[in-house]
C-alpha cells in the first residue's frame, strides 16, 4: 500500500511540476499579448490617424447630421483635405477602403436585410413556441385519447397545408408584380378565416363537451397552431 501511495504521490507531483512550466509560459504569452495591446493603444493615442480618418469620413458621409452645425466650420479642422492627404496618406487610403467595402455591402445586401432576417427567425421561434405550448395546454386540460389527439393533429396539419397554399398563391401573385385587388384580398382573407374556423370546428368535434369546458379558450384558438413554415413562404415577399 505504501508503494501505491508513493506512486500516486509521484504522479500528482509530476503532473503539477510538469504542468507549471507550460502554464507559466501561457501566462507570460497572455501577459505579453495584453501588454502589446496596451502599447498599440498608446501608439494610437499618439498618432493622428484616427482623428484624420474621422474628419475625412465626416466630410464624405452621406448620413444627414441631426446635430446643429456650429456655423461654417471646416470639417478638416484647420487643415485642408490636401494637407491631411499629405500628412497622413494612410488615413485617406483606409477611408477609401471603408467606403468601397460599404458600397459593396450595400450592393450585396439591402439595408434592412439582416435585421429582417433576424426578425423573421424570431417570429418563427415564437410561432413554434406558441404551437408547442398550446398543444401541451390542450393535452393537459382535455387529456384526449390517442384517437382524439390524432384527429386534432390532422386538423392542424390540414389547416396549415391550406394556409400554406393560400400564402403561396399570394406570394406568386406578388412576385409576378401583380397587386391583389380589393376583392381578391378580401377573398384571400375570407378563405384564410374559413380555414381556421373549419380547423376549430374539427377541434371541437374531436373533443367531448366536458373536455372543451376544461380547456382554456386559447388552447382551441387555431391561431396558436399556425405553422412557422408560413413565415418561410412570406419571407420571399420581403426579398
Partner 1 sequence: MMYSVRDTIYIAYFHILRSIRTRTMLFLFIVYLLISGGTAWFGRAIIHEFEKQTADTLMVPQTETPGAMMEILRTQDNFHRMISSMVPDIELVEWALTLPVLTIFHYWISLFVLPFIVAIIGAEMIAPSIKDRSLRYELLRTGRLELVMGRFLGQSLLIGAGTLLACIAPLIVGNFFMVQQPLFETVWVLLSFVPKLFIWSLPFLAFGIALSMITQVTNLARILALASVSGSWILYAFLLYHEEQGDYPLLISVVSPFIPQYYGTALWSPSWDWILSGCILITMSIVYCMTGYPLFARRNL
Return the percent helix, strand and coil in the chain, to nearest 5.
80, 0, 20
Q: Which of 135, 149, 211, 229 binds partner 1 (CB under 8 A)?
A: 135
Q: Which of 80, 125, 157, 187 binds partner 1 (CB under 8 A)?
A: 125
Only segment of 3-11, 97-105, 169-177, 187-195 that touches partner 1 (CB under 8 A):
3-11
Q: Considering the complex, what minimum distance in angstroms separates the CB of residue 16 from partner 1?
A: 4
37 binds partner 1 (CB under 8 A): no
By beta-carbon proximity to partner 1, the closer residue of 29 and 109 is: 29
Q: 228 and 124 in contact (C-beta within 8 Å)?
A: yes
23 binds partner 1 (CB under 8 A): yes
C-alpha dist (Å) from residue 114 to 123, 171, 195:
14, 21, 33
Only segment of 10-18, 155-163, 193-201, 203-211 that touches partner 1 (CB under 8 A):
10-18
Distance from C-alpha of 205 to C-alpha of 133, rounded to nearest angstrom: 21
Phi, psi at 155, each rounded to 5°: -60, -40
Q: Considering the complex, what minimum distance in angstroms separates the CB of residue 155 from partner 1?
A: 17
42 binds partner 1 (CB under 8 A): no
Distance from C-alpha of 14 to C-alpha of 4, rounded to nearest angstrom: 15
Q: Residue 235: CB partners within 8 Å, gap ≥ 6?
A: 120
3 binds partner 1 (CB under 8 A): yes
193 binds partner 1 (CB under 8 A): no
Picking from 195, 189, 185, 190, the residue whose alpha carbon sits closest to that of residue 225 is 195
138: cell is 390542450
Only segment of 5-13, 63-71, 154-162, 193-201 that touches partner 1 (CB under 8 A):
5-13
Q: Considering the complex, what minimum distance in angstroms separates the CB of residue 9 from partner 1?
A: 5
139: cell is 393535452
By beta-carbon proximity to partner 1, the closer residue of 103 and 216 is: 216
Q: Which of 75, 81, 141, 168 binds partner 1 (CB under 8 A)?
A: 141
12 binds partner 1 (CB under 8 A): yes
Orientation of helix 49-60 relative to helix 89-108, angle to 10°: 50
Amino acid at each position: 500500500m505504501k508503494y501505491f501511495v508513493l506512486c500516486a504521490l509521484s504522479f500528482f507531483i509530476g503532473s503539477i511540476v510538469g504542468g507549471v512550466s507550460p502554464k507559466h509560459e501561457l501566462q507570460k504569452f497572455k501577459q505579453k499579448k495584453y501588454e502589446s495591446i496596451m502599447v498599440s493603444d498608446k501608439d494610437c493615442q499618439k498618432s493622428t490617424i484616427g482623428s484624420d480618418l474621422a474628419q475625412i469620413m465626416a466630410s464624405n458621409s452621406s448620413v444627414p447630421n441631426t446635430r446643429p452645425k456650429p456655423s461654417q466650420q471646416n470639417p478638416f479642422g484647420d487643415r485642408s483635405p490636401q494637407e491631411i492627404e499629405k500628412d497622413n496618406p494612410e488615413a485617406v487610403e483606409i477611408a477609401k477602403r471603408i467606403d468601397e467595402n460599404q458600397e459593396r455591402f450595400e450592393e450585396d445586401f439591402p439595408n434592412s436585410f439582416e435585421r429582417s432576417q433576424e426578425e423573421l427567425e424570431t417570429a418563427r421561434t415564437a410561432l413554434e413556441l406558441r404551437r408547442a405550448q398550446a398543444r401541451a395546454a390542450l393535452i393537459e386540460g382535455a387529456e384526449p385519447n390517442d384517437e382524439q389527439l390524432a384527429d386534432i393533429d390532422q386538423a392542424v396539419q390540414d389547416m396549415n397545408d391550406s394556409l400554406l397554399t393560400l400564402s403561396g398563391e399570394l406570394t406568386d401573385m406578388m412576385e409576378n408584380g401583380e397587386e391583389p385587388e380589393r376583392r381578391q384580398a378580401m377573398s384571400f382573407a375570407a378563405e384564410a378565416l374559413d380555414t381556421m374556423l373549419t380547423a376549430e370546428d374539427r377541434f371541437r368535434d374531436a373533443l367531448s363537451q366536458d373536455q372543451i369546458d376544461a380547456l382554456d379558450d386559447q388552447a382551441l384558438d387555431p391561431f396558436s397552431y399556425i405553422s412557422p413554415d408560413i413565415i418561410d413562404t412570406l419571407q420571399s415577399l420581403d426579398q
